[in-house]
Chains A and B, each alone.
Chain A
Amino acid sequence: MLNVQELRAAYGESEVLHGLDFTVAPGEIVAIMGRNGMGKTTLMKTLMGIVPARSGVVSVDGTEITGLKSHQRVASGVAYVPQGRMIFSAMTVQENVETGLTVTGKKKVPENIYELFPVLLEMKGRRGGNLSGGQQQQLAIARALASDPKILLLDEPTEGIQPSIIRDMARTLRRIRDERGLSIVVSEQVLSFALDVADRVMVIENGNFVHDSPRAGIDEARVSKFLSV
């Protein structure tokens, strides 16, 4: 579904991603683990066209999206839940979700989105900025799903969220995958969440992948060693 070859990205002169290769199968959930500053956010932003790729090829479902603008990538089936959620805080919950409808041409938010996150329906007239952290995270996911993606990118979705809600989030993400058949790439620092949610775990260190293993039979000790400072 997602195919990335030799992807390089840089801020000015300093290269941050040094030629990444990976593939995500349809319906697969991949967790990308790594400590702070290892390049997870840069990878997500490069996939979204927010940071330009220096070289390499990205394709979705066989269609190359490498040089496209962000909104064109959304139209090609990529959706993004950024680190820090970045909801539109002065807009209502419903309006936030509706911004995600832009590429679909729909006017009304499909009901199955509110079925996933009933709390958003209750709060649809409230300003996004007045929601709790966990609710904002749900809102950001709902907004991303509104564009009807083939692949969902989530950047550290558990950051700043209570442990009890993190459990629910893993379940919700798997449910989304099961119901919609989309692929998910999620970056993480919390191993337990990654093990809850992912089919495959990769580790990124200083802009290179250093480990790649299916969830079944993963060497937990080895992965957590990468994650400890």
Chain B
Amino acid sequence: MFSDYSMSELGAIFAMQGFAGLILFSVFVLMALGLAIIFGQMGVINMAHGEFMILGAYVTYITSNVFSDYLPALFSIYFFVAMVLAFIASGLLGMAVEWAMIRHLYKRPLDTLLATWGLSLILQQVYRSVFGAREVGVTIPDWIMGSLPVTDMIEVPINGIFVMVLAVGISAAIYILMYRSSWGKQVRAINQNRVMAGAVGINTEWTDRLTFGIGCGVAGVAGSAFTMIGSTGPTAGQLYIVDTFLVVVFGGAGSLLGTIASAFSISQAQSIMEFFLSGSMAKVLTLLTVVGILMLRPQGLFALKLRK
């Protein structure tokens, strides 16, 4: 498949597709981060995580329309507003869901799996009723869609850099919050001993709700980023939840570094192969490779060192 291209063309293609894969990478990192926060805190696997992401995408879509209709002068910066709103909307929905549903099921992990799966179906139907079954595209401000020429064959897309900086920034912020803020301290105390955390005065239920909200909010930001590479439809989240589980398992559950490394390799592999093969063929090859590596290293790329 490479024989039609010269070496320098191949180099350029790899570089360009690599940069294009940065957005996918960022979406994976943010999605996996949100999933991991929620799973780490309360042992809940959120099957509706993709729908929280799509909510963020729809919020971005609405924000872009509002800005182009009412605030056209500020259209070039609407994306920042949209991301904040996406975080808030997905976060609040997450807290509401935790309050209404998840908190009653903490002692029944299988039921949370079913319940969040049911929730994902409900949300898809809600999106279909509100936004229609057709996919909607978001108009991205020109400056984000531009690119910086590096050589005459390689251009670096600004959106890729922008979203990657965002994803890395959010990961770093969550990491810092985990080790510096009182929320982080409470989360870690609850992780170690839930009963004792309550007995030193931590409101474990509120911390759970907040944490669920933060995890979903990060998914909402992922949805914002996602609007740059795909069009938003009611079921678009489904495609990403599977990939995200793949990223988490491949990276080794519980390791931030592993998640980032695995998100990077999977997104890059897909993006580069997609140029030469069809999208589904690229997926199949990625999946096969991941399965092959997991057979050699079942604990994932970076295994969590378990403490006694």
CB distance A102 to B202 under 8 Å? Answer: yes
Residue from A80, A88, A103 having most chain B Cβ neighbours under 10 A: A88
Does B129 reach chain A (CB closer than 8 Å)? no
B75 CB → nearest A CB, Å: 42
Residues of B whose CB lies within 8 Å of any CB of A are: 182, 185-186, 188-189, 192-193, 195-205, 307
Inter-chain CA distance A117–B203, complex, in Å, is 27
A32-91: which have CB < 8 Å to B?
48-50, 69-71, 74-75, 79-80, 82, 86, 88-91
28 residue pairs A–B, Cβ–Cβ below 8 Å: A48-B199, A50-B198, A50-B199, A69-B198, A70-B198, A70-B199, A70-B201, A71-B198, A71-B201, A71-B202, A71-B204, A74-B200, A80-B200, A88-B188, A88-B196, A88-B197, A91-B185, A91-B188, A99-B189, A99-B200, A102-B182, A102-B201, A102-B202, A102-B203, A103-B201, A143-B200, A144-B200, A147-B200
Query: In the complex, what residues of B have CB within 8 A of residue A86's CB?
Result: 193, 196
* A98 at the binding interface (Cβ < 8 Å): yes
- Whether A100 is near chain B, meaning CB under 8 Å from some CB there, is yes
**Cα of A71 to Cα of B201 in the assembled complex, Å:** 4
Residue pairs across A and B with CB atoms within 8 Å: the count is: 70
Closest chain A residue, CB of each to CB of B184? A95
Q: Do residues A99 and B203 form an inter-chain contact, with CB atoms below 8 A?
A: no
B contact residues around A107 at 8 Å (CB): 182
Knowing that A99-B185, A100-B201, A102-B201 touch, tell me 10 more A-B residue pairs with CB under 8 angstroms: A69-B205, A80-B200, A89-B192, A89-B307, A90-B188, A91-B185, A98-B182, A99-B189, A102-B200, A102-B203
Give the chain B neighbours of A75 by CB distance below 8 A.
Answer: 201
Chain A residues closer than 8 Å to B185, beta-carbon distance: 91, 95, 98-99
What CA separation (Å) do A103 and B182 show in the bound complex? 12
Beta-carbon contact of A74 and B192 below 8 Å: no
Scoring A residues 140 to 160 as 1 if CB is less than 8 Å from chain B, else 0, what string do you get? 000110010000000000000
Determine if A90 and B186 form an interchain contact, defined as CB atoms under 8 angstroms apart: no
**How far does the alpha carbon of A144 sit from the alpha carbon of B199 in the complex, in Å?**
9
Least CB separation from A69: chain B residue: B198
- Shortest C-beta distance, B148 to chain A (Å), equals 44
Task: Determine if A147 and B193 form an interchain contact, defined as CB atoms under 8 angstroms apart.
Answer: no
Identify which of B182, B188, B192, B204 gathers the most chain A CB atoms within 10 Å of its CB. B192
User: Considering the complex of A and B, which 9 residue pairs feature the smallest CB-CB distances, nearest first?
Assistant: A74-B201, A70-B198, A103-B201, A102-B201, A86-B196, A88-B192, A71-B203, A70-B199, A80-B199
